[in-house]
Amino acid sequence: MPIFTYKAIHAASQGAQAVTGTLTADSPRQARDTLRSRGYTIQQVSKTQDRAGFKGFRFKLPGQRHQAKTITFIGELSTLLGAGIPLLDALDTILKQNRGGFHDSILQLRDRIASGIGLADSMREQPQVFDELTVTITDVGENSGTLDVVLSQLARFKERSLQFKGQVANALIYPCIVLLLGACVSMFLMTFVLPNMLNALVEADRELPMITRLVKGCSDFLIYQWWVVAAGLILSILMFGAASRSARCRFFWHKTQLRLPVIGILIRKQAIARVAMVIATLLRTGVEFVRAIQIAEKTTHNLALRKALRQCEAAVHAGQDIADGLEDTGAFPPTVLQIFSVGQQSGKLESMLDRLASDYDQQVALASQRLGAVLEPFLILIMVLMVGAILFATILPILETANVL
């Protein structure tokens, strides 16, 4: 929704006062009508320009760009509401602390609430900033009159989820950087260093060792047939992009991830821990289990596990026990099934799911550290062997020539 800046005169009890500010509206006329309804005499209304023309991009990846700001916003809003501050005043206070695109999002939220729309419904109009979990918990808090409490629980969950997110990926970042550097160094040696050092020997018709001929063959291919390599890379990127847009290919890839020897176990535990945290948070705020598992399904990135949750939802909706529904999917380990079974029977499902998420969180963190510690020296060794083989292939014929002389 566009944002407009205005200058107006407000006839207050202390006398006429000049005021300036911003508001959201569908058109300049609607902005003027809104200001007149507030008792303002309009002097100027103008539409704000998109910052550097990146407004469309700014809202494409809000979960990554604004996730930390959203968590802070929810926590501050919970604190202000708990102190007895009205919702609009609380939003005005938070507005003063933010800039840029997130400021515009809160401003739009504030104006929609001022027009009589509820907080959850206003959030629902900005799905790029507020996910369905946030909207659902906010809706529960508004209907139960415990908005500050449920927002506090939501803030704690999101902080924990943000810390938990990407532990497996973070453990693989350094090894991947090492492997990439090794490949770049090898390319440099094969395309610049090796040809210059071997040109004199080739021109003198010296017989080169086997390893040197192999490396030189690879070097000549990279130098004179570079377009084949470039075409292969471009084709691979295009095929990867097409596969990523295909639901069937994505499902196959996500299912394959879960079957990988070590990383698959970590990915599965990480996804299950997030599902457990989401369901526990929703059950604690009074959401039904079927609705909670629907939201957990949408927050799960792995399509194979998402399909399993959908099957479980259908089974529970048909009257089957939770543990039996999960067992039929074949995607959850026995420990998870036992926790759901005992939690359902004892009525303490949310607390047991919290403990499951905490245990899996610790297991993933520890296993990720060990995986990184094992991969780092292994990949460094591979890089040393690659570079060493190229250098050996380059120096060996020179040493043989020196012996002959």
CATH number at residue 40: 3.10.20
User: Higher-confidence residue: 167 or 264?
Assistant: 264
Report which of residues 272 and 18 the model is more confident about: 272
Residue 213 to residue 194: CA distance in whole angstroms: 11
Q: Is residue 53 domain-resident?
A: no
In the structure, what pLDDT confidence band is assigned to residue 2 with cuts at 50, 70 and 90?
A: low
DSSP letters, 31-49, are HHHHHHHTTEEEEEEEEPP
- Residue 1 binned pLDDT confidence (cut-offs 50, 70, 90): low
Domain holding 137, by residue range, is 61-155
User: So what's the pLDDT on residue 202?
Assistant: 72
Residue 350 shares a structural domain with residue 224 = yes
Could you tell me if residue 178 is inside a domain?
A: yes
Q: Is residue 55 part of a domain?
A: no
Q: Among 68-77, 107-116, 171-180, 261-270, which stretch is predicted with the lowest mean pLDDT?
A: 171-180
**One domain for residues 343 and 286:** yes
Question: In 3-state terms, what secondary structure has residue 200?
Answer: helix
Q: Indicate whether 396 belongs to any domain.
A: yes
Q: Greater confidence, 201 or 264?
A: 264
Question: How many helices and strands in the chain, by DSSP H and E?
Answer: 20, 3
How confident is the model at residue 66, as a pLDDT? Answer: 64
pLDDT tens across 298-313, in order? 888 889 998 999 999 8
Q: Quote the percentage of the chain above a pLDDT of 90.
A: 3
Q: How many CB atoms lie within 10 A of CB 107?
A: 20
Domain identity same for 390 and 268: yes
Residue 200: exposed, middle, or buried by beta-carbon count in 10 A (0-12, 13-18, 19+)? exposed
- The domain total for the chain is 3
Is residue 252, in this structure, part of any structural domain at all? yes
Q: Are residues 109 and 239 in the same domain?
A: no
Among candidate residues 103, 129, 155, the one where a domain is terminated? 155
**How many other C-beta atoms can be found within 10 angstroms of the C-beta atom of residue 292?**
25
Question: Which residue, of 101, 129, 155, is where some domain finishes?
Answer: 155
Q: What is the dihedral of CA 309, 313, 319, 322, to 10 degrees?
A: 40
Whether 275 and 388 share a structural domain: yes
pTM summary value = 0.67
Q: What does the pLDDT average to over 4-24?
A: 68
Whole-number pLDDT of residue 381: 85
- In this predicted structure, what is the pLDDT of residue 234? 93
| Angle formed by the axes of helices 194-203 and 210-224, nearest 10° | 110
Spatial neighbors of 198 by CB under 8 A, at least 6 apart, are 208, 212, 216, 394, 397
pLDDT of 14: 57
CATH of the domain at 140: 1.20.81.30
